[in-house]
A and B are shown apart, each in its own frame.
Chain A
């Protein structure tokens, strides 16, 4: 239902004028950021995995993101007790090529950095197949604008959560969309991705030849809660959007709870595809 609010927000934005201004914002102490996305592409071995560690910075700081090296990073399969050590690549990334993904197994992430231990738990979550990817103009907000449609079928009678990531090749930033089956349980669902013209950010409608990369993740309920909040706070801010709040992931610091890490440890099966507009 947040989508509805977002849509209303779009209407309101047409009724008002906006401009970019300078604002003094408070500055918090830097915090460790753990981007531990264990993404297992469907029908692959999924042995190569990467985890990124960095630090948060002041909001308007445009310097490079400080990456964190020298940490001890490992993932443990709690069902099998297999341990996967992620090697420090000295650029803020930690990698392994021995990972073994198993659906519905619970994994534990352990990061030891600067004397602090961060722990997270997550379950490897499956994803539906994509039934079809096609282009159209009649879906979406604008009946004349091209959009790409991704069709999948939700598994009935169980709670399922999904994350879509669309990125036009050549774009700086991806678009994320979270989905729950609360209102669509067991149905075939079509997700569209459309571009409306926006002069402010030099955005134009999709045109033949444009390529869109598509990621379709199966995600846990807890991660869906996190992403839903992340996405809605990332794209909102008008008078009809919810008051922004702290975004806490699952990377806890049991010895020093206030010093939790930003980011998330997710374990997701993913379908990766791309579409070229005709």
Chain B
């Protein structure tokens, strides 16, 4: 409680220090009425200023006087206005885009992408869709998840692998939010594409560390993706025709300047990849994004957003497979007064997986769903003190698997794995506090509480050991069940509470440079079970409970930030050190799918990661782009613990699958003239740790591989170059139809980057072979985008 008292003391001292007045309002794009996130509003000649929040709201307070107020958001014309500050006032801004082209083949990147050296927030990356759209991509399919991997500290397991890894974290350690709804699987077609339709997305923010207190539940990162609100001035259609999918989005006012809607759809062409396997196989995906908002007076605004996406596979009728995310969010923005902004959200999201194996006459379904209620407030106490605080609660429903026979004479019996329920809640408060003109700090905490609810029985094991080391055979085995405890629906199986302090400080060394330091502790209560190299769509989430502990991470970061050449260039250098406790590791031969007692397959381990990241960006001029380099190390260790025995890899530290010693990328875009823009990427990564055989022997007339310790070898390094050219045909200003062509070549020098190397015996010759799986060689593509 001491901390809270201290916080309130701070607030009161800062509030009453001076006689202040407040200016507040909403920043919007003049053309389409979209609210602008991250515009800078400041009083000329002072250090007083603020950034607009995710709903475009800003509030600044200053002593009585006459000022020139300036609003800037690069890519947009700067606006200034004389104001006499002798009372509180409300000023809404409509900013005007500098170039008026189709999806701005922008020369200038946005202000929010150049480094904000003043705020203590670090380890954060904000990317505008306009920048992402310029990055060459495989088959011309714009992909947020792939694009952020060009930034330092972010990797994945290669093409065709789902999700992404942040600073050595696992895929399930990323909190992925689409309009605040949790997205459990970010991939389409087993990882070839991401679920985010570029036409429906406004901006994305990725926190790699120093995670703000308002977020919790995942230990590595937060990817906050916001959908467009929809144009509230005119009706527009945008769309594109690509080699993989086509897109169409419609947006327009519901009531002009009061409310708007957006509906966006994307669908792939079926039979895409599986042609080689015959006409009977197909793979396809589609997405539907919805958004509507309506202002009820000046102080209230309602938002409704939804997402529905699905993947379908059909393998010659022998089996069908379908999975996807669905989410909905109802939000209510309320401005209490010019200093207090609030948002309440009711959110639902679900991920489900369905596999019908006609071949074996059964159907397998699993799902995870959650209901989330959340209330966030921001109090702009004064120029030097702002406070974020709020509460949220998430109810989870886990259905890890159900097997249904699909025919009367199926050999498969009905089976329902135990359904699990949990409630996760959090309360947070965080202050952004300008201590001096040069030093700004943010500090606060989140308290999270997780209640694993009853409604199921839990198996009890001999000596309380769900996994036990078989001394004689030298292997880990399931423990010996000795009974069950039945928990009623109103009972709680296990509770956890965690205090999660978050803090950051920035020291402005000069006008254009600063040093920042940050610390965050984050707890994670639900875990994706996966013992495969890449996570698969059928991996199952499991909550913490009697046997599975919550993951707990501590991350420290230190960085140097600098803008130079009149903000044309920015440099960010960050070092980090991160530890995660209670990271699950899997025993040899673990069986995770269709497993009712997960605790018999896992051991409790820990991981640690450290690295140095460098990002040099050029955000203005004809040539824009960045250069990113990361050197890092990620390891994990799993001792035997209560199961006894040596643990995994003898309980020693070993490379986790996400370790990449070097990760280097350059991406650039050059605007030749109004018609042509060219883009290119180069990516180099150390190969990921894998397990190779270190011997062979004959058994049952087969040559059997014996394997070296886990992850003690590495794949060859990964590298490629992609290029793209965007052509905007001559357009007449009076013509409403605007189109552009994007030509791309992915992996120009056709490097066969290994997604995996497998070892096996050639069935014809009997000789052992190493077989490389390479997903994409050189891939040309053409996409046509239009706006009407």
Take A183-B413, A201-B764, A248-B474 as given contacts and tell me if A14 and B274 are in contact as well, using a CB distance cutoff of 8 Å. Answer: yes
Choose among A26, A203, A233 the residue that contacts B692 (Cβ–Cβ < 8 A): A26
Q: Do A33 and B698 have beta carbons less than 8 Å apart?
A: yes
Does residue A70 face the partner (Cβ distance < 8 Å to B)? no
Q: How far is the CA of A2 from the CA of B708 in the complex (A)?
A: 22
Residue of B nearest to A67 (CB): B698
Q: Do A239 and B706 have beta carbons less than 8 Å apart?
A: no
Instruction: Note all chain A residues with C-beta closer than 8 A to B701.
Output: 173-174
Closest 4 pairs between A and B when the two form their complex, measured CB to CB? A237-B758, A1-B594, A245-B588, A28-B694
Q: How far is the CA of A26 from the CA of B413 in the complex (A)?
A: 44
Instruction: Note all chain A residues with C-beta closer than 8 A to B357.
Output: 4, 7
Interface residues of A in 72-128 (CB under 8 A from B): none
Interface extent on B, as a size class?
Answer: 35 or more
- Show 19 A/B contacts (Cβ-Cβ < 8 Å), sorted by A: A1-B591, A4-B357, A7-B315, A8-B536, A11-B283, A25-B692, A25-B713, A33-B697, A143-B316, A174-B700, A183-B415, A222-B473, A234-B761, A239-B157, A239-B773, A240-B532, A240-B536, A248-B475, A257-B474
Q: Do B696 and A58 have beta carbons less than 8 Å apart?
A: yes
Residue of B nearest to A153 (CB): B411
Q: Do B759 and A237 have beta carbons less than 8 Å apart?
A: yes
Chain B 437-455 interface mask (CB, 8 Å, partner A; 1/0): 0000000000000000000
B527 CB to nearest chain A CB (Å): 17
Q: Do B757 and A23 have beta carbons less than 8 Å apart?
A: yes
Does residue B273 face the partner (Cβ distance < 8 Å to A)? yes
Instruction: Note all chain B residues with C-beta closer than 8 A to A16.
Output: 160, 755, 773-775
Instruction: Note all chain B residues with C-beta closer than 8 A to A59.
Output: 692-696, 705, 759, 768
Does residue B712 face the partner (Cβ distance < 8 Å to A)? yes
Does residue B570 face the partner (Cβ distance < 8 Å to A)? no
Instruction: Note all chain B residues with C-beta closer than 8 A to A37.
Output: 700
Take A26-B713, A33-B698, A172-B766 as given contacts and tell me if A18 and B473 are in contact as well, using a CB distance cutoff of 8 Å. Answer: no
Q: How far is the CA of A64 from the CA of B317 in the complex (A)?
A: 44
Q: Do B777 and A243 have beta carbons less than 8 Å apart?
A: no
Residue of B nearest to A25 (CB): B692
Take A142-B316, A229-B588, A239-B533 as given contacts and tell me if A65 and B698 are in contact as well, using a CB distance cutoff of 8 Å. Answer: yes
A18 CB to nearest chain B CB (Å): 5
Instruction: Note all chain A residues with C-beta closer than 8 A to B752.
Output: 17, 19
Q: How far is the CA of A183 from the CA of B404 in the complex (A)?
A: 10
Q: Do B411 and A20 have beta carbons less than 8 Å apart?
A: no
Stretch in contact with the other chain, from A129-137, A187-195, A267-275: A187-195
Does residue A169 face the partner (Cβ distance < 8 Å to B)? no
Q: Do A20 and B770 have beta carbons less than 8 Å apart?
A: yes
Q: Do B766 and A173 have beta carbons less than 8 Å apart?
A: yes
Q: How far is the CA of A233 from the CA of B759 in the complex (A)?
A: 9
Q: How far is the CA of A19 from the CA of B751 in the complex (A)?
A: 13
A137 CB to nearest chain B CB (Å): 13
Choose among B472, B591, B697 the residue that contacts A57 (Cβ–Cβ < 8 A): B697
Q: How far is the CA of A57 from the CA of B189 in the complex (A)?
A: 40
Does residue A56 face the partner (Cβ distance < 8 Å to B)? yes
Residue of B nearest to A263 (CB): B699
Take A7-B319, A16-B160 as given contacts and tell me if A233 and B757 are in contact as well, using a CB distance cutoff of 8 Å. Answer: no
Of B699, B706, B765, B766, which is in contact with the most chain A CB atoms at under 10 Å from its CB?
B699
Q: How far is the CA of A174 from the CA of B764 in the complex (A)?
A: 11
Residue of B nearest to A3 (CB): B360
Instruction: Note all chain B residues with C-beta closer than 8 A to A189.
Output: 411
Does residue A165 face the partner (Cβ distance < 8 Å to B)? yes
Take A1-B594, A54-B697, A236-B758 as given contacts and tell me if A201 and B316 are in contact as well, using a CB distance cutoff of 8 Å. Answer: no
A260 CB to nearest chain B CB (Å): 6
Choose among B315, B472, B695 the residue that contacts A56 (Cβ–Cβ < 8 A): B695
Q: Do A243 and B775 have beta carbons less than 8 Å apart?
A: no
Q: How far is the CA of A239 from the CA of B187 in the complex (A)?
A: 15
Residue of A nearest to B764 (CB): A201
B288 CB to nearest chain A CB (Å): 25
Instruction: Note all chain B residues with C-beta closer than 8 A to A18.
Output: 771-774
Q: Do A241 and B533 have beta carbons less than 8 Å apart?
A: yes
Does residue B657 face the partner (Cβ distance < 8 Å to A)? yes
Residue of B nearest to A176 (CB): B700
Does residue A44 face the partner (Cβ distance < 8 Å to B)? no
Q: Do A185 and B697 have beta carbons less than 8 Å apart?
A: no
Q: How far is the CA of A257 from the CA of B646 in the complex (A)?
A: 12
Does residue B542 face the partner (Cβ distance < 8 Å to A)? no
Q: Do B774 and A165 have beta carbons less than 8 Å apart?
A: no
A254 CB to nearest chain B CB (Å): 8
Does residue B158 face the partner (Cβ distance < 8 Å to A)? yes
Q: How far is the CA of A22 from the CA of B755 in the complex (A)?
A: 16
Choose among B319, B588, B705 the residue that contacts A234 (Cβ–Cβ < 8 A): B705
Choose among B318, B411, B588, B696 the residue that contacts A246 (Cβ–Cβ < 8 A): B588
